[in-house]
Amino acid sequence: MKIDEIVDSLAPWLAKHRRPAWKPVVVEGDGSPTASKFCGTPWIGPDSPWPDCSVCNHPLSLFLQIDLSDLPGELGGRFGTGLLQLFYCTRDDCQGYGGSEPFADDLSRVRVVHPSGPSVAVPRSPRHKHLPAKQIVGWTRFDDLPTPCEHDELGLVYTYNFENGTLRLECQELNFDVTSRMSECPAEEIANSEPGDKLAGWPAWVQGVEYPSCPKCGGRMTHVFQLDSQNNVPFMFGDVGCGHITQCPEHKEVVAFGWACS
Ligand SMILES: [Zn+2]
Ligand SMILES: [Zn+2]
């Protein structure tokens, strides 16, 4: 069976797992302290001071701030309200000392703040100057699909026979069971997640499925935002790593950031 026929046969499975995602539309500039943005100046409150790096103790750089109340209506407010903020240490000396593990709070800090007044004036560290601010002024919708490492769990099971060069592809719910040449049906052509910065959709996992568990309830956290290397933020996570902000669907103040590279 050729890849096109396989994709056609799996249409109901693909439809079931297709999710909307959005690419940010950006303009140069910082915008207001509560604006959705990459880099630039975050909203800072008396109870939510500018966080420092746990390794070098210098102020972290803002990488992303998103106004959760001002997201596409199709999301139905599922991420709650407030400003989601991600900070990260860009100092060369700190790279290699963390940043990739969710909840480690070493080189990164992610949180949801609820602005209650004007932002507290904070002396800007020179560290923040070389990352150009981009305001997020809109979102471009597209359909996203799960990355191959999630297919198994979603009921599309791949059994590779490397000796014969064959792949058995099973989807029980569709009574689909086909064996093809391995080279003719690469998993990423059946369904794959978009790389680059995006809101919602499916994470483009690099190493494997890495949804963290919520420390409060143990539940699986869900994907909120994918921050890729050198996309809107001119920074490289490890060796072209890809980062993900996740959130507990029950505890919307519980957010985590992690990244992985190949
Ligand atoms: Zn640092
Ligand atoms: Zn929870």
DSSP codes, 219-231 = PBPEEEEEEETTS
pLDDT for the residue numbered 123: 60
pLDDT for the residue numbered 185: 87
HSE-up of residue 33 (Cα within 13 Å, Cβ side): 15
The residues that bridge with 94 in the sheet, in sequence order, are none
Taking a C-beta distance cutoff of 8 angstroms, is the pair 142, 11 a contact?
no
Give me the mean pLDDT over the 149-161 stretch: 97
pLDDT for the residue numbered 232: 97
Tell me, in angstroms, the distance from the centre of ligand 1 to residue 202's CA.
Answer: 30
CB contact burial 112-136 (16+ within 10 A = b; e otherwise): bbeeeeeeeeeeeeebbeebebbbb
Taking a C-beta distance cutoff of 8 angstroms, is the pair 198, 226 a contact?
yes
Taking a C-beta distance cutoff of 8 angstroms, is the pair 244, 227 a contact?
yes
Would you say the C-alpha torsion 127, 238, 64, 245 has a positive or negative sign? Answer: negative
Residue of 9, 61, 13 whose CA lies nearest to 37: 61
Give me the mean pLDDT over the 7-24 stretch: 98
Tell me, in angstroms, the distance from the centre of ligand 2 to residue 156's CA.
Answer: 28
pLDDT for the residue numbered 128: 52
Tell me, in angstroms, the distance from the centre of ligand 1 to residue 65's CA.
Answer: 20
pLDDT for the residue numbered 234: 95
**Residues spanned by the domain of 13:** 3-260
Q: In angstroms, how far is CA 231 from the centroid of its own chain?
A: 13
| Dist CA 202 CA 75 (whole Å) | 14
Tell me, in angstroms, the distance from the centre of ligand 2 to residue 221's CA.
Answer: 8
**Domains in the chain, number:** 1
User: Which CATH number is 211's domain given?
Assistant: 2.30.320.10
Task: State both tokens at 148.
Answer: 């191959």
Give me the mean pLDDT over the 81-110 stretch: 94
pLDDT confidence band for 91 (50 / 70 / 90): very high
Give me the mean pLDDT over the 200-213 stretch: 97
pLDDT confidence band for 119 (50 / 70 / 90): confident
Tell me, in angstroms, the distance from the centre of ligand 1 to residue 52's CA.
Answer: 8
Q: Residue 121 pLDDT > 80, yes or no?
A: no
Taking a C-beta distance cutoff of 8 angstroms, is the pair 241, 260 a contact?
yes
Q: What is the mean pLDDT of the chain?
A: 94
Tell me, in angstroms, the distance from the centre of ligand 1 to residue 256's CA.
Answer: 18
Tell me, in angstroms, the distance from the centre of ligand 1 to residue 128's CA.
Answer: 13
pLDDT for the residue numbered 127: 55
Taking a C-beta distance cutoff of 8 angstroms, is the pair 191, 151 a contact?
yes
Q: What is the pLDDT of residues 27-62, one digit of tens each?
A: 999 999 999 999 999 999 989 999 999 999 999 999
Percent of the chain with pLDDT strictly greater than 90: 89
Give me the mean pLDDT over the 167-196 stretch: 95
Q: Residue 63 pLDDT > 80, yes or no?
A: yes
Distances (CA, A) of 124 to 42, 68, 113, 149: 11, 25, 19, 41
Q: Residue 206 pLDDT > 80, yes or no?
A: yes
Give me the mean pLDDT over the 217-241 stretch: 97
Residue type, 184: E
Distances (CA, A) of 77 to 23, 38, 73, 165, 249: 18, 21, 7, 46, 11
Tell me, in angstroms, the distance from the centre of ligand 1 to residue 125's CA.
Answer: 13
Q: Residue 129 pLDDT > 60, yes or no?
A: no
**Which ligand is closest in space to the CA of residue 55?**
1
pLDDT for the residue numbered 257: 98
Q: Residue 126 pLDDT > 60, yes or no?
A: no
